Amino acid sequence: MDNTDIYKKSLDLHKKYHGKLETKSKVKLDSKESLSLAYSPGVAEISREIARDPSLAREYTLKRNTVAIISDGSAILGLGNLGALAAIPVMEGKAAIFKEFGGVDAFPICLDTQDTEEIIKTVKHLSPVFGGINLEDISAPRCFEIEERLRKELSIPVMHDDQWGAATVILAGLINALKLTKKTKENIQVVISGVGAAGVATARLLIIYGITNIIFCDSKGIIHTGRADLTSEKKELLKLSTLIAYEGTLQDAIKHSDVFIGLSKPNILTTDMVKSMSDQPIIFALANPTPEIMPEKAKEAGAYIVATGRSDYPNQVNNSLVFPGAFKGMLEANIPQFKIKMFSRIAEEIANSVKDLSTEKIIPTMWDKGIVELVSKTIQEFKS
């Protein structure tokens, strides 16, 4: 099925159902008595109890199992800044995945502001009803401050999925790629092309895991201390990498590297670049929908393993492997906040779950049984 056909079918589907998410009562309201328990006068007692002990909101309300999916529409998929209304179908789809795969109730909130302070304030104001906050499709570098501030200022878990979902699955795939190539995390050299939300988080996660020889590239080439245009995140990453970076292009960076992780733009990786890599090149070409290099081309040029963001090729880097289980675990165990260590543990467990490991399967799919439970259980180890 090519995308034109998918797009047409998708329009039909969305038109038919007017979106994908609905709300539903968990209790029957079919008699005077049932109404008097679920609503007035019975509900007054629930309100009084929660006012007496706010922790009871977790026992008596939807807060226990409900996540807000928050976007300002500034970085929708690979489409850019299309605004709040255009973000709704994506967030609604994500909410549907939360429920269908993780059993987690989720509701899309698309904000009509792209001001960092307004977003932070709004999320704090609307947070009481939720047990967790999934930030989504918010452009870098604002996404870093928003996530960090909300983690500090809220008492419920906050995760920017474009960062940690992607980073976790990439690390899982990389762990398995290293097994297949018999290379070690200490010795490989990695190029990360694209240092937005996902690129920064991937770098942070790789470093925590022990993969520290990393060269970073953005649209202007290699990131090095001599450049005057670096954000605080880029400066921080340079300090954390054990490689010293010099001026140069992606072409210079990739020479003799073992791993390419692209979170950047279509078709920027050439066959010559792949050929210039170390033996058994590992390619994560994750630009969507058109990767940095198409898998066939990469393979022809000698790539040993290729992963993309697409479901129509092997080794799909799919955030949906992580977020339903991650929030499920946090909510079930009532863990107050995400920590980066959790994501590297989840990546290890996801990697180990692949039993039929091969160059065509370094990452499980959403249809492999038990993934959500595995992720949920792994994160619950962090309950203090």
Contact positions with a second copy (CB under 8 A) in 109-128: 109-113, 118, 121-122, 124-128
Q: With binding defined as CB under 8 A, does residue 35 bind a second copy?
A: yes
Q: Does 50 bind a second copy (CB under 8 A)?
A: yes
Query: Which of 281/295 has CB closer to a second copy?
Result: 295
155 contacts a second copy (rule: CB under 8 A): no
User: Could you give the strand order of the β-sheet that contains 259-262, starting from the edge strand earlier in sequence?
Assistant: 221-222, 214-218, 190-193, 259-262, 282-285, 305-308
Cβ nearer to a second copy, comparing 128 with 370? 128
Dihedral (C-alpha) 53, 57, 60, 66: value to the nearest 10 degrees? -170
Interface pick for a second copy out of 92, 136, 218, 233 (rule CB under 8 A): 92
| CA atoms lying within 13 Å on the CB side of residue 303 | 29
- Whether the CB-CB separation of 350 and 169 falls below 8 Å is answered with yes
85 binds a second copy, rule: CB under 8 A = yes
CB 343 within 8 A of CB 205: yes
Is 17 noted as a catalytic residue in this protein? no
C-beta atoms surrounding 171 within 10 Å:
25
* CB of 215 closer than 8 Å to CB of 248: no
- Token pair 């797009």: residue: 7
* 93 contributes a contact to a second copy by CB under 8 A: yes
Q: Is 79 in the site for a second copy (CB under 8 A)?
A: yes
Interface characters, 52-71, with a second copy (x: CB under 8 A):
--x--xxxxxxxxxx-----
User: Is residue 51 part of the contact set for a second copy (CB under 8 A)?
Assistant: yes
> Which range of residues in 89-97, 156-164, 183-191, 229-237 is near a second copy by CB under 8 A?
89-97
Given the complex with a second copy, which of 296 and 312 has the nearer CB atom?
312
Instruction: Assign 67 to helix, strand or coil.
Output: strand
Q: Which residues inside 316-345 make contact with a second copy, applying CB under 8 A?
A: 320
Residue of 7, 17, 39, 246 with catalytic role: 39
Q: Is 239 a catalytic residue?
A: no
Separation of alpha carbons 212 and 258, rounded Å: 13
Which residues are the active-site residues? 39, 94
